[in-house]
């Protein structure tokens, strides 16, 4: 039996400075057990693994982006960070391809050991220049209900945000609900906050059928929304920062700047 799920909810973005800017839209994410992708391919009529489908998941969309096993890449990446989850599971929160297209601004890997304890979180960030970067964050105390950690920004994402920032993450790991808060802050304090709040749904043929009806162009709307919001920020005369190229699929192994807390 697969442990993969879906989460339906809202994404919101709030920019505080130099002018306020707010957006909010309905979305759903899949939480995929990377060890169960072939099972899902056979079980779900509307889901395909590494082949065309209404909803599909391709290894080439993540990690090294060369089509090799994404699960193997995660284990190798964890090994570089001296994290051993042995025969544990890796759950990936991401948007699926819909009718062949997807753009994931961020995908999040929750890495559990064989005792089902969360040992690491990987944040895979993408920009519209075709570049990606993965932040590997070890989990200090995996018994906590809410995780908080901070790390330096080293990857260029938006032309309207300086590289001289840190990310402050607040995570309620997936269960009946899933909560992700990503605050980007500079020397003056909080600059912008992105939030996803979602409720767990069983990943079934019925869910995917309803998702197709409710969100027929969701993945296209994501990239269209990025460019539309960029236009609005430009129109508001928000300062622009020059693109700083990055190596494709680069990785940072980071140590949390602040401890994990329980809330």
Q: What is the pLDDT of residues 134-182, one digit of tens each?
A: 999 998 766 667 899 999 999 999 888 889 999 999 999 999 999 999 9
- Encode pLDDT of 82-96 as tens digits: 998 988 999 999 999
Contact 12, 28 (CB under 8 A): no
Closest CA to 181 of 63, 9, 32: 9
| pLDDT of 262 above 50 | no
What is the SS3 assignment for 142?
Answer: coil
Query: Does 1 score more than 70 pLDDT?
Result: no
CA distance 124 to 212: 25
Provide mean pLDDT across the span 44-56: 96
Boundaries of every domain in the chain: 5-253
Maximum distance among all Cα pairs of the chain, rounded to whole angstroms: 52
Token readout for 57 is 């998941």
Nearest to 143 by CA among 116, 167, 123, 109: 116
List, in sequence order, every residue forming a beta bridge with 47; answer none if it has no partner: 55
Residue among 105, 95, 110 at smallest CA distance from 30: 95
Mean pLDDT (whole number) for 228-243: 75
Residues 182, 197: contact at Cβ < 8 Å? Answer: no
């Amino acid at each position: 039996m697969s442990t993969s799920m879906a989460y339906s909810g809202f994404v919101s973005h709030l920019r505080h400075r130099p002018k306020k800017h707010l957006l909010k839209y309905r979305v759903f994410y899949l939480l995929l057990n990377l060890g169960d992708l072939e099972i899902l391919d056979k079980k779900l009529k509307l889901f395909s693994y590494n082949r065309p489908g209404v909803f599909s998941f391709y290894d080439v969309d993540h990690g090294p982006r060369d089509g090799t096993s994404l699960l193997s890449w995660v284990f190798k990446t964890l090994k570089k960070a001296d994290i051993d989850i042995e025969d544990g599971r890796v759950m990936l929160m991401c948007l699926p391809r819909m009718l062949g297209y997807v753009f994931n601004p961020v995908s999040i890997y929750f890495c559990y050991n064989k005792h089902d304890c969360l040992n690491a979180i990987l944040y895979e960030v993408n920009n519209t220049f075709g570049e990606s970067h993965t932040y590997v964050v070890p989990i200090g105390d995996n018994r906590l209900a809410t995780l908080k950690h901070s790390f330096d920004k080293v990857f260029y994402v938006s032309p309207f945000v300086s590289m001289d920032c840190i990310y402050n993450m607040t995570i309620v790991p997936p269960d009946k609900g899933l909560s992700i808060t990503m605050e980007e802050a500079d020397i003056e304090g909080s600059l912008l906050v992105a939030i996803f709040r979602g409720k767990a749904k069983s990943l079934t043929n019925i869910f995917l059928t309803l998702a197709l009806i409710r969100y027929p162009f969701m993945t296209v709307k994501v990239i269209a929304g990025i460019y539309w919001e960029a236009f609005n920020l430009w129109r508001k005369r928000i300062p622009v920062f020059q693109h700083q190229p990055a190596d494709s699929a680069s990785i940072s192994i980071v140590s949390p700047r602040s401890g994990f807390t329980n809330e």
